[in-house]
Chains A and B, each alone.
Chain A
């Protein structure tokens, strides 16, 4: 390995860890809301603190429990979103590419959307 190889590894790791660290520091899930978008359009917002199960378009099942969101069922063959770990922090997301579904947590500063909107 040459000097430039180590330089490349060092720079890339530095960038990644600083982005991760910054993300870790700035986020908390107080008053978090779960935002679901389908094909880039808003599908619904759900409170992270109420236990609930949401059926998204009949293709995926979203479960919100213990202040974390997880997809429990999907009709796509690869099931990547089902294997994804539960998301709890602001900015985290679960993505189902075949169904173009994005489930993410955002900081709901004003708790205007308290309940379920279908």
Chain B
């Protein structure tokens, strides 16, 4: 029980570091809103090592804190929508479908982008940005694939470590 706080502290700190590292990578894809989402690596790992509830808590805390530190209120709302939707889809795919870590991560990457697009549609009050939909889907596949490959490698090496959250 007392480990719980320590684990969350470590994971939140790691998430914030990854968010910061991502800011330092000066890659512009030319398409707004597309980035790697390094911090989602932790969410995937947390989902597999512990469970949905812990991953959700970690995701929300990470997004709110990094939003206040590195960007603005808008990005918090978008990230929250994407983060929560992607976590819901990932946990569904993990439980129901016969997917590996990589497949689950890809589903998360796609739904993260879709969630953000839906919020953007609501904010600007138009469906015209549906134009972005295919591009965001492909971007979600690519980023989800990369994150999935890394997290499955990490999970392989963490096999003997149990994260006891209860």
Contacts and interface: CB of A to CB of B under 8 A. Distances in A.
Interface of A: 1-5, 8-9, 12-13, 15-17, 19-20, 23, 37, 39-40, 77-78, 80-81, 83-85, 91-93, 95, 97-98, 100-102, 104
B106 A8 contact: yes
A20 B134 contact: yes
B92 interface: no
Contact of B135 (A16, A84, A95): A16
A85 B132 CA distance: 13
Given A5-B106, A80-B33, 18 more contacts: A5-B100, A8-B103, A9-B106, A9-B141, A12-B141, A16-B133, A23-B134, A40-B125, A77-B72, A78-B72, A80-B32, A83-B28, A91-B131, A93-B131, A95-B120, A100-B124, A102-B124, A104-B128
Nearest to B72: A77
B124 A1 contact: no
Nearest to A104: B128
Interface string B91-112: 0000001111011001100100
Nearest to B109: A12
B133 A40 contact: no
B145 interface: yes
Nearest to B140: A12
A23 B140 CA distance: 20
A5 B102 contact: yes
B110 A12 contact: yes
Contacts of A80: 32-33
A97 B124 contact: yes
B131 A15 contact: no
Interface string B117-155: 000100111101101011101101100010000000000
Contacts of A13: 137-138, 141
Contacts of A1: 100, 102-103
B7 interface: no
A100 B125 CA distance: 8
Closest 6 CB pairs of A and B: A40-B125, A5-B103, A16-B134, A80-B32, A16-B137, A19-B134
Given A84-B32, A97-B123, A100-B123, A4 B129 contact: no
Contact of B74 (A9, A12, A91, A98): A98
A102 B122 CA distance: 12
A39 B125 contact: yes
